[in-house]
Amino acid sequence: MIKPPQNATSEILDNLSSAVIVLDQALNVQWLNAVGEALLQLSARQAIGESLLSVAPGLAVLNAAIAHAQDQGASYAEREIRVALSGERTVTLDCAVTPLPGGRLLLELEHIDRHLRISRENRMIAQNAAIRELVRGLAHEIKNPLGGLRGAAQLLESELGREELQEYTRIIINEADRLRALVDGLLGPESRLEKQPTNVHEILERVRHLAVAEAPEGVVIRRDYDPSLPPLPAAGDQLIQALLNIVRNALQALDGEGEILLRTRSQRRFTIGNRQHRLVLRIDIVDNGPGIPLALQDRIFYPMVTGRPEGTGIGLPIAQNLVDRHGGLIECNSEPGHTLFTVWLPLEETDE
């Protein structure tokens, strides 16, 4: 069998989607491919001859896998390992360690954050669709008796001559109206979106002014806008409502003191659900509050889920519904001192 030339092997390895690193017996780097250079953010020339942990201290989490492969003399794999790399980056990797002749080791590292994100988004989109259908069914069952209840209260009020008794019927009518408005809010607008080319920064400035008017003195709202962004096809009023709901959620989380950041960026070739877009808008709403409890993080976009006793639990579901109608998605990552809501919106026209 004819072996391919060495440069041909390197070319093949450089075109793999996984990072490939070869270590000697002392766990010094002997070789790495182009994807490995991108993952570690340094060149092969800088890495070769250096110990693995000196070029990437975060890969110490692989020590047990490396020891297992060396002891057993066989390949060993671990899935979804969180690794802290240079520049405060944390990535999720699938890792395989394979012993080679001469005591060397082959590391294969596959960056799976994008796959996990797409899988998470697909679950979220499916959950949102199921929730909307459930709410629509419940809304019909709730609104019909509410209409009857309100009508009966109005008739009763007209029959009651005493003002103090009519006060009770007005409470019934007001509460019926409140519940109807709550259900209508969960359903969202029924009309088709009328999208127009929209300056997203005008939208955000409107949201910021409203939030500043509501914010206590101890809360600062900062901006970090990308002025090069193209117009966004959007229904401006609905987008204002969606973003305002998220900002109000951040204001309530800060409890009178802290900072909120509004940031815009663009990203090329980005997938939302199963659809890849040439260019998308990213809106980040960041606060430095206490964070969302871990038990709530997977359910914050469900109706009636809230971490506050006085909360209604409909602001974020309404925001997600409005963004979904624009072909976008809202994601959330939270830990104490840093909560990030990211709104992804296509910058090209999509069907509603």
At 288-303, the pLDDT tens digits run: 999 888 888 777 887 7
The confidence band for 158, taking pLDDT boundaries of 50, 70 and 90, is: confident
**Considering only CA atoms, which of 336, 212, 316, 205 is closest in space to residue 264?**
205
The dotted CATH code for 6-111 is: 3.30.450.20
- Report pLDDT for 348: 79
Place of tokens 């008739």: 155
Distance of alpha carbon 219 from alpha carbon 205, whole angstroms? 17
Whether the per-residue pLDDT at 238 is higher than 80: the answer is yes
Q: Which amino acid is at 214?
A: E
CATH class of this structure's domain 196-346: alpha beta
Tokens of 221: 């709202």
Whether the per-residue pLDDT at 6 is higher than 60: the answer is no
- Report pLDDT for 310: 63
Which pLDDT tens digit goes with each residue over 96-135?
999 999 899 999 988 877 676 667 667 766 776 676 677 6
Burial class of residue 275 in the structure, from the number of CB atoms within 10 Å of its CB (0-12 exposed, 13-18 middle, 19+ buried)? exposed
Distance of alpha carbon 29 from alpha carbon 229, whole angstroms? 42
Q: Which residues contact 215 (CB under 8 A, 6 or more apart)?
A: 221, 251
**Considering only CA atoms, which of 249, 229, 346 is closest in space to residue 290?**
249
222 phi/psi in degrees, rounded to 5: -105, 165
Distance of alpha carbon 350 from alpha carbon 328, whole angstroms? 10
Question: Comparing 180 with 222, which gets the higher pLDDT?
Answer: 222
Distance of alpha carbon 24 from alpha carbon 14, whole angstroms? 20
The answer to whether the beta carbons of residues 26 and 102 sit under 8 Å apart is: no
Domain boundaries, the chain: 6-111, 116-187, 196-346
Whether the per-residue pLDDT at 154 is higher than 70: the answer is yes
Average pLDDT, the chain: 83
Other residues' Cβ atoms within 10 Å of the Cβ of residue 268: 9
Predicted structure pTM score: 0.60
**Considering only CA atoms, which of 119, 133, 172 is closest in space to residue 303?**
133
| E strand or H helix at 322 | helix 315-325
Tokens of 78: 């671990």
Burial class of residue 57 in the structure, from the number of CB atoms within 10 Å of its CB (0-12 exposed, 13-18 middle, 19+ buried)? middle
